[in-house]
Chains A and B, each alone.
Chain A
Amino acid sequence: MIPELGHFAIILALCFSLVQIKTGVMQKTAAMGQCLFLVFAMACLMLSFLTNDMTLIYVREHSHSMLPLIYRIGAAWGGHEGSVLLWCLILSGWTVAFIVFSDAALSRSFFSKILKIMGCISAGFITFLLATSNPFKRDFPHTLITGNDLTPILQDPGLIFHPPMLYLGYVGFAIGFSFAIAALLEGKFDPTSARACRPWVILPWSFLSCGIVLGSWWAYRELGWGGWWFWDPVENASLLPWLSATALIHSLAVCEKRSAFIGWAILLAIITFSLSLLGTFLVRSGVLVSVHAFANDPSRGLFLLIYLAFIIGSALLLYGFRIHLFYRSHSFKLFSRETLLLINSVILLTAVATIVIGTLYPIILDALNKGKISVGEPYFNLVFVPIILPLLLLMGLAPHVNWHEHAFNKLWKKIKYTALISLVVGLLSPWVFGFPFYVSTGLGIAIGVWIILSTFQSRLELRHCAMVVAHLGIAITVLGIVVNKSYSQERQVKMLPGETVTLANYQFIFNSVEETQGPNYQSITAHFTVEKNHQAPQALSAEQRIYPHNQLLGKTGILWNPWRDLYLALGAPLSDGSWSVRLYYKPFVRWIWAGGFFLLFGGMLSLLRHYLKRRESSHESF
């Protein structure tokens, strides 16, 4: 009964989305109704998981009667069908949020067009859900079954937060996209619209930043190789819209303050959402090999491709025919903030292009019958780092520079000491912290310090706090990456209980192995003690778990503080009673993620400021 109600609710939601596409007074009600029914459908799905309704194929394949309660809730989006439902739900949630909180300064027709476009996107995706990915499909097996179980790697608190956060991010760019299409249809995009649009790009961007960080942290803990970014196609799929949204946020600032870059901002808004859709397609169609791959079905890939071609294709056609309406000559001097922000966009889009090429390259080669290959970390590190470096240098520079024109001499006077101090601090800090010295590391740290110092130097007013926090976040991540890449240490050893291994001045003592029983798994736990120069020893343990259906999962043991992680992964038992063990020393790795949370916080601050400013101006008008 409950699954049927859920199924029916999705059909109703589709009807409401169709109403939303048609103009009229009903538009807002339709959007609300759609959201309501999708919430209801999600609730039905969760209830089916909670009651272990094994007649649902989706529940059977992603749950187990012994799965702990919390993961049964998360399992609702642990597979393809449920996560498409989550996608639809979040999209309609964004629509409702937009109706409730949007700027009253938007004209009625503009507002209504945005809702229509959101309706189109939503209708297409709900159709996809119903036609190819229905989570409420039943069959009645003859025997009693316990379910295939949720993949052990998903049985982690990360499952509860990471996917919703990520989807809140890239689904949310649908609003920016709708703004762009509405602007093309209306033939105008004034500073008021730009101002109204900006929070609806910044908010999803903040969530996406947070989602990416949560994903990276999860991969670090779960995969057991001490890495935090693997350039996997799915990770790339989340990074691409983030990069182009970053460019979009900066370009919208120019639209708002200077009425320039309008055509550019419209294109970026289209590109950003297109990259979100491209990511969705890549993950779900099976055209690429990835650690995240969902169970694939060719009909899904084809449906998504047609949908994507229709939405993006028509958007870009409309862009081609209408964009000439937005071209005005806007004069600014070569050395001005406009130029620097333009460079920012160009660099970010270049980064996007290189990642797209790297990600699609295996398909290109395969399509040309040149063999099957995979493109990995070496390519991406090689091309991405040199592209991004100048951007980081400019990040410290741009906030000092005025709109329209700036005298280079004046700027040089202002920043020369900051630059010098950053360089000295960067080159000296490895030495101060007692690390070996490498020039590249020193320069990397100098870049991080440069961003921090010059951001503080240029903008210490309250109204710039959001930008300051976000830029600091990037600097912190950069510092984390540089130190982590330069000074991480690892050892792969064979250890008998009682033996000691030393890594980076820490002694790892292997005490014992113990068998334990978890809620839905059996586990072998290896207990270690970690000591450093007579300081109080700390306990550390790593596990090997065996889930029903013989799935093996290693659980890493991590001792962390802000300066370093000690990371332990248990490998296979060897014939003589010893174990293969991997030990890692990861300095500053927490900084990488801390920076991401700064981005989230910065985004929130910017919204708060936007809200306060709007309240102020509405008070004035009365």
Chain B
Amino acid sequence: MNLFKQVRFALPFILFLFIVILLMRGLSLHPNQIPSPLMNKPAPTFSNDFKGHVTLLNVWATWCSACAEEHDFLLQLAREKEVILMGLNYKDNPKAAIRWLKQQGNPYQLVAYDPTGQIGIDWGVYGTPETFIIDKKGIIRYKQLGPLTQEVWEQTLKPLIQQLQNESL
């Protein structure tokens, strides 16, 4: 009886412990990383362009300030030549996009223009910038929301790309 009483008083504390453990776990989860339904599915468009090499497809626009932020980093990646860079210019004016690439430098080996956002719908683009990694068989292997940074590159993308490079066709 006495034991029961003691346990009863400790109940709020025990409950609280559970919540703390849960929140601790929650800190290491990332609610903003929504898995793409296209993950491990073939790329919806330009499939022939991807065959035979690992590609990084970057969705960007001239009106997007976060894209301007990652632009320098993309140029650096283009110099390092570890991966084929491809751009998807999303809901933008193609002329403005070409002018912008001339001024700021063009990191992409190939740029597709999607002024109406139709291709974006096929790819499930939420907003710019977004980056997809596509393997040698043309299958989407990773999707990154938000700008590319050195940190993301070193921790996630670079190891993944190296692994994909080693996969056989």
A residues sitting closer than 8 Å to B (CB atoms) are 267, 270-271, 274, 278, 281, 285-289, 298, 301-302, 305, 308-309, 312-313, 316-317, 319-321, 323-324, 360, 362-364, 366-367, 372, 549-550
Contacts and interface: CB of A to CB of B under 8 A. Distances in A.
B157 to A, nearest CB: 20
Contacts, number: 73
A317 B13 contact: yes
Contacts of A288: 26, 31
A316 B12 contact: yes
B25 interface: yes
Contact of B12 (A305, A319, A324): A319
Contacts of B64: 550
B10 A287 contact: no
B3 interface: no
Given A319-B13, A367-B25, A372 B35 contact: yes
A271 B26 CA distance: 21
Contact of A309 (B6, B10, B20, B31): B20
Interface in B1-23: 5-6, 9-10, 12-13, 16-17, 19-20, 22-23
Interface string B96-140: 000000000000000000000000000000000000000000000
A313 B13 CA distance: 7
B25 A363 contact: yes
Given A313-B16, A316-B13, A323-B9, A289 B32 contact: yes
A288 B31 CA distance: 6
Interface residues of B, number: 24
B63 interface: yes
A372 B29 CA distance: 10
A531 B27 CA distance: 53
Nearest to B20: A309
A320 B9 contact: yes
With most chain B CB atoms within 10 A of its CB, the pick from A313, A362, A363, A550 is A363
Given A286-B31, A372-B34, A305 B13 contact: no
Contacts of A305: 20, 23-24, 27
B156 interface: no
A267 B65 CA distance: 50
A362 B22 CA distance: 11
Given A287-B31, A319-B12, 20 more contacts: A271-B12, A278-B19, A285-B27, A286-B32, A288-B26, A308-B20, A309-B20, A312-B16, A313-B17, A320-B6, A320-B12, A320-B13, A324-B9, A360-B22, A363-B25, A364-B22, A367-B22, A372-B34, A550-B64, A550-B65
A302 B31 contact: no
Nearest to B21: A367
Nearest to A367: B25
A363 B26 contact: yes
A362 B63 CA distance: 33
A183 to B, nearest CB: 15
Given A320-B10, A320-B13, A323-B9, A287 B65 contact: no
A50 B77 CA distance: 41
Contacts of B22: 360, 363-364, 367
Contacts of B5: 324
